[in-house]
A and B are shown apart, each in its own frame.
Chain A
């Protein structure tokens, strides 16, 4: 059986755990943010955690889970794992979906954590707002790199108000110091760690991945030291750790659940080729409409009438 590098160095858990929700160490440099977040969650709010990739957003959610979890109060949904637009909607709206079951079984006061928030359908926002107002959801936390880019209704934004928590990318010094502090023994020099950080494009998550790769190598090869050339080679080799660096969902992922067809943006709406929509503004129309009920454009009668309406 493979021995984990950190076991060799006498650790029970990985001090450089990459998955922020499994980290056993307390987060560094977030004291005020954590205090604010925990208070907002406890007192019933819609909260936005906003910050660049790998700046600790999920780590903060981990604190919420640690404080309020364990009593079945928390629902954690990671947008990265919902790579289809409709999946989350289904999750929330489907009568058989867990929301409905959840509310039948459980009392009011759930806490919903929507990590890496993707654009939710408006109906889902409406439901979230309703559940929040009625206190079925005591608090809702969204995380996003840029909150402004979320297609969130103004009414939801207004409920967030000033309850926005910003996370910043850790500086190189702070990141390197954190790793040295957690290792707490002479495994690698500060200078090498700084170089490793640069190789990681200053990305905290990638930095942790690369640390794990390097220490894995050192333990496997029974090395006490590593030179720059070897380190570069190790970093560029594929490993299971790289799996954890999956990127955020791109718009390409917006496909129709049933047909697998890519959705097209028409006006404000995402439409499947199977939808019947106005080619001008994207509003959904009925088969017998001869003008668009939204923008008023007249549909021309033609043999390929259907085709005309569906034209991209």
Chain B
């Protein structure tokens, strides 16, 4: 029996998958709010975040936020081997993961994931398409912290650069409490220690899972230092 089943959870509360029903967004809700705010005016923005900081969660949040009303196209530049065909995205909504929703084409939101893999021609083209008003919003997402976008991109983006960072202690404690739904397995001290040992929110969740599993397996109702390995 998995540790969480002993506490009547149906599934792992520390799952690293983006959770629809949980609106905690790995503690990255602020960024989604900001993206929503700048949609009306139209914008090209950059979201930076190392692996495990919640990029997928944020992108899924954006897609969920706009779906049903607006057209969201997702394009992963890592797996694209050719020049990006922006016209094709406008017509069909891009490659594999794209979600298409009915709306005037000109109001489309384009998410370019792993944007550091874009070819130099792609950057020129996306600027043209954006300036011609085909995309209301372009979100360039990258996991490479020090990647420098070309000048023509930076000119448009300006200070609309959002960085996904490690969550702070207060958010971490809240995140754990909300995931554990009142089960008092982890004290604040232990949560803070795990946070300190973790480099990303994803790693933090995995470590919480490991610690709870250890504590419950040795019959304790409280995670202690010795469960942190």
Chain A interface (Cβ < 8 Å from any Cβ of B): 39, 42-45, 122-123, 125-127, 130, 132-135, 153-155, 157-159, 161-163, 269, 283-286, 289, 293-294, 296
B52 at the interface (CB under 8 A from A): yes
B11 at the interface (CB under 8 A from A): yes
Residue of B nearest to A135 (CB): B17
Smallest CB separation, A141 vs chain B (Å): 16
Among the 9-residue stretches B155-163, B166-174, B201-209, the one with 4 or more Cβ atoms under 8 Å from chain A is: B201-209
**Residue in B81, B97, B121 whose beta carbon sits within 8 Å of that of A126 in the complex:** B97
Q: Are A126 and B120 in contact (CB under 8 A)?
A: no
6 intermolecular pairs with C-beta atoms under 8 Å apart: A43-B4, A130-B97, A135-B17, A154-B143, A157-B51, A293-B119
A44 neighbours in B (Cβ, 8 Å): 11-12, 15-17
Size category of the binding interface on chain B? 20 to 34
B81 neighbours in A (Cβ, 8 Å): 269, 283-284
Mark B7-34 against chain A: 1 for CB-CB distance below 8 A, else 0: 0000110011110000000000000000
Q: How far is the CA of A61 from the CA of B118 in the complex (A)?
A: 38
Q: How far is the CA of A153 from the CA of B12 in the complex (A)?
A: 25
B59-111 contacts to A (CB < 8 Å): 60, 76, 78-79, 81-83, 96-97
Q: How far is the CA of A294 from the CA of B119 in the complex (A)?
A: 5
Q: How far is the CA of A289 from the CA of B82 in the complex (A)?
A: 11
A122 neighbours in B (Cβ, 8 Å): 78-79
A154 neighbours in B (Cβ, 8 Å): 51, 143
Smallest CB separation, A276 vs chain B (Å): 10
Q: Are A43 and B2 in contact (CB under 8 A)?
A: yes
A155-B119 contact given A126-B79, A283-B81, A285-B82, CB 8 Å threshold: no
B176-214 contacts to A (CB < 8 Å): 200, 202-203, 206, 209-210, 213
B56 at the interface (CB under 8 A from A): yes
Extra pairs beyond A44-B15, A159-B202 (14, CB < 8 Å): A44-B12, A45-B16, A122-B78, A126-B78, A130-B96, A132-B17, A133-B60, A153-B78, A158-B51, A161-B203, A284-B81, A284-B82, A293-B82, A293-B83
Q: How far is the CA of A272 from the CA of B203 in the complex (A)?
A: 39
B122 at the interface (CB under 8 A from A): yes
B17 neighbours in A (Cβ, 8 Å): 44, 132-135
Q: Are A43 and B51 in contact (CB under 8 A)?
A: no
**Residue in A123, A157, A286 whose beta carbon sits within 8 Å of that of B82 in the complex:** A286
Smallest CB separation, B144 vs chain A (Å): 10
Q: Are A293 and B120 in contact (CB under 8 A)?
A: yes
Q: How far is the CA of A157 from the CA of B50 in the complex (A)?
A: 13
A39-B2 contact given A122-B78, A123-B96, A155-B51, CB 8 Å threshold: yes
Q: How far is the CA of A122 from the CA of B78 in the complex (A)?
A: 8
Q: How far is the CA of A163 from the CA of B203 in the complex (A)?
A: 11
Q: How far is the CA of A269 from the CA of B117 in the complex (A)?
A: 14
Q: Are B121 and A293 in contact (CB under 8 A)?
A: yes
**Residue in B12, B15, B52, B120 whose beta carbon sits within 8 Å of that of A158 in the complex:** B52
Q: How far is the CA of A39 from the CA of B3 in the complex (A)?
A: 9
Smallest CB separation, A157 vs chain B (Å): 8
Residue of B nearest to A127 (CB): B96
Residue of B nearest to A277 (CB): B81
Mark B122-141 against chain A: 1 for CB-CB distance below 8 A, else 0: 10000000000000000000
A284 neighbours in B (Cβ, 8 Å): 81-82
A132 neighbours in B (Cβ, 8 Å): 17
A286 neighbours in B (Cβ, 8 Å): 82-83
Q: How far is the CA of A53 from the CA of B193 in the complex (A)?
A: 39
Q: How far is the CA of A283 from the CA of B17 in the complex (A)?
A: 32
Smallest CB separation, A295 vs chain B (Å): 8
Smallest CB separation, B194 vs chain A (Å): 13
| Most chain A beta-carbon neighbours within 10 Å: one of B4, B15, B17, B209 | B17
Smallest CB separation, B59 vs chain A (Å): 10
Q: Are B122 and A293 in contact (CB under 8 A)?
A: yes
Smallest CB separation, A160 vs chain B (Å): 10
Smallest CB separation, B123 vs chain A (Å): 10
Q: Are B143 and A133 in contact (CB under 8 A)?
A: no
